[in-house]
Structure 1
Amino acid sequence: MRVAILALDGLFDTGLTVFLDTFAMANEQAAAQGFPAPPFDVRVVGVRRRIRTAHGLSTAVELASTIGRPDWVVVPAPSVRQPDRLIEALARRDTRDAMAALRAWHADGVSVAAACIGTFLLAEAGLLDNREATTTWSLAPFFRQRYPAVKLDDSRMVVASQSVVTAGSAMGHLDLALWLLRQTSPELATLVARLMLIDKRSSQAEYIIPDHLAHADPLVERFERWARDNLSVGFSLQAAARALSVGPRTLQRRTEAVLGKSPLAFFQDLRIERAQNLVSIGYDIEKIASEVGYADSATLRTLLRRRLGRGVRELRAEMQR
């Protein structure tokens, strides 16, 4: 597999090194197992001859126009975390040139992939329109607002949509690298994951901090505060809308536009977050159920297992490690 890592100024250093180290480990283990040749030919390329990372490390790269046709082009994340700074980064000349190169590669049948905030480059280039995709959960509300044509599911860690693959938050670079390894050799990918102590994570959902997302919009932020104050009472769309002085449809539309989910689903997220916190400090399950608005613990147990894949006993065991 020929892989071109498209590097731009200000990139997230860890993202680049994760790709390089994971592919290097794979080639090393392939040689030890008697592969006739390294399975991965990895090049770091750019639209300029040198790039400077976010930590100020300067390195020479190959010009993207000179390397021939790769099988995959992979985009590490730029090291920006605020929407206004990201808009500036997307408007830079080198970023626009990189997006033009991505469109040309994709039109030529080359597969493209990106992790974390690197997914914004694919979306800005139009390569995610009408496709399923994921991104870093912390910027998902901004992503939804800027790219409404993308079918975003920020709960997922890796999303493959034909010849375009996206991965989630910062260490999603690891998940994307392993996904690419599996396309060549599932056995080699498993070995590398074990040697590098990489956990299998199919979802970002349990890492998401609900109130962080809510702050992306004033109405949703007010709804989040109302929801936390009313967890023990239970959810009512009409009551929430009345308390916020808006119509139920307005609240429904705004939460779906910003969070990608209904007010009830977000309320359930807050219930899960609160329940996890109470489990961690040793509350009885019946008391926890009452605190988050359930008349009995059976419903809460079912919700925890459905959302987190683990029950109360497993969660308590994790907290004690």
Structure 2
Amino acid sequence: MRIFLLALDGVFDTGLTVLLDALGLAHKFAAQQMGGSLTFDVTIVGMRKKVRSGQGLAIPVETVTSDMKPDWVIVPALNTGTPDLLIPALQRRDVKEAMAQLVKWHDGGAQISASCIGTFLLAEAGLLDGGEATTTWWLSPLFRQRYRTIRLDETRMLVPSGKIVTAGAAMGHLDLALWLVRKASPELAAVVSRYLLADFRSSQAPYIIPNHLAQADPVIQRFERWARDNLKEGFSLANAARALATSPRTLQRRCQAVLGKSPLSYFQDLRVERARSLVHGSNLDLDAIAAEVGYVDGATLGTLLRDRLGRGVRELRADLR
């Protein structure tokens, strides 16, 4: 299996290194266990002869040429974690050339993947149009507003869509590498994950910070402040809209456009965040925590925590030991 890692200037050091280490281990163990019947031939390629990482390190790359025929291409993230840095980076000449090359490789039969901010390159190139994707969770409002034809689910860690796979934030690079190895050999992926002390994760939801998502839109910011002040009282769309001097329809529309969810769902996100904070930072029992976030009993809250986080109160408190 011939795999290209497409490294551009400012590539996220950790993402590139994680991919190299995970795929390198897979190649080593495949040789030992399968006698060379499965290989992971990894090459770092670039649009320029000289590429530097986000931390300023020189990256040895092979310059892309027209005769290169990969089976897989992986686009690591750029080290541009905020919209004011990312949007100009997407207009760089080398980035635009990389997008055009990705389209050529895709049209030639290669499978394309990206993690974290690398997913923006695939979206910008049009490769995700009409399909599904995930991305780094804190830039999901920007992604959702910029690429309206793509069905985004930032709670998922990995989203295959046709011949393209997208992965979530930062360490999603590792999840992506393990996914690729698992496609070739589940047993090999299990060995690599154990050597790296890496579990297979299906969701980014436990890592999302609702407050960061709200910063993308002034209406959502005001709604978040109202919601935090009213967690105990419970949710009312009419009351929220009235407090924000807007209409329920407008609030619904803005939440869907920016967050990809209803006002009630976001309100529940804030309840979960506050409840988890109290689970970690207080000795309150579950019923008392439930009362703090507007639930009549602990059983209902416990169900919500498990649905959203995949963990109950006992497991959350055990994490601190």
Q: TM-score, normalised by structure 2?
A: 0.97
Corresponding position of 1:283: 284
Corresponding position of 2:198: 198
Corresponding position of 2:225: 225
2:10–2:78 CA contact under 8 A, matched in 1: yes
> Which one is further off, 310-319 or 286-295?
310-319
Once the two structures are superposed, the pairs formed by residues 249-264 of structure 1 within 5 Å of their partners are 249-264=249-264
Corresponding position of 1:83: 83
Aligned length: 320
Q: Deviations over 1:63-86 (max 9, x none)?
A: 222552111110000000111211
Q: Secondary structure at the match of 2:283?
A: coil
2:31–2:39 CA contact under 8 A, matched in 1: no
Kindly provide the amino acid, as one letter, of the partner of residue 303 in structure 1. Answer: L
Corresponding position of 2:296: 295
Once the two structures are superposed, the pairs formed by residues 138-177 of structure 1 within 5 Å of their partners are 138-177=138-177
User: Structure 2 regions of 5+ residues with no counterpart?
Assistant: none
Moved over 3 A (4+): none
Q: Secondary structure at the match of 1:91?
A: coil
Corresponding position of 1:305: 306
Displacement of 1:136 after TM fit? 0.1
Corresponding position of 2:32: 32
Q: TM-score, normalised by structure 1?
A: 0.97
User: Structure 1 regions of 5+ residues with no counterpart?
Assistant: none
Kindly provide the amino acid, as one letter, of the partner of residue 204 in structure 2. Answer: Q
* Distance (Å, rounded) in 1 between the aligned partners of 2:114 and 2:29: 25
Kindly provide the amino acid, as one letter, of the partner of residue 17 in structure 2. Answer: T
Corresponding position of 1:65: 65
Kindly provide the amino acid, as one letter, of the partner of residue 97 in structure 1. Answer: E
* Distance (Å, rounded) in 2 between the aligned partners of 1:34 and 1:229: 59
Q: Deviations over 1:42-70 (max 9, x none)?
A: 11111111211111111331122255211
Corresponding position of 1:56: 56
> Which one is further off, 28-37 or 67-76?
28-37
Q: Deviations over 1:289-313 (max 9, x none)?
A: 1111111222111111211222222
Corresponding position of 2:122: 122
* Aligned-residue identity in percent: 62
Displacement of 1:32 after TM fit? 2.3
Q: Secondary structure at the match of 2:36?
A: coil
Displacement of 1:251 after TM fit? 0.3
Q: Secondary structure at the match of 2:235?
A: coil
Corresponding position of 1:10: 10
Q: How big is the alpha-carbon RMSD for the aligned residues of Structure 1 and Structure 2?
A: 1.1
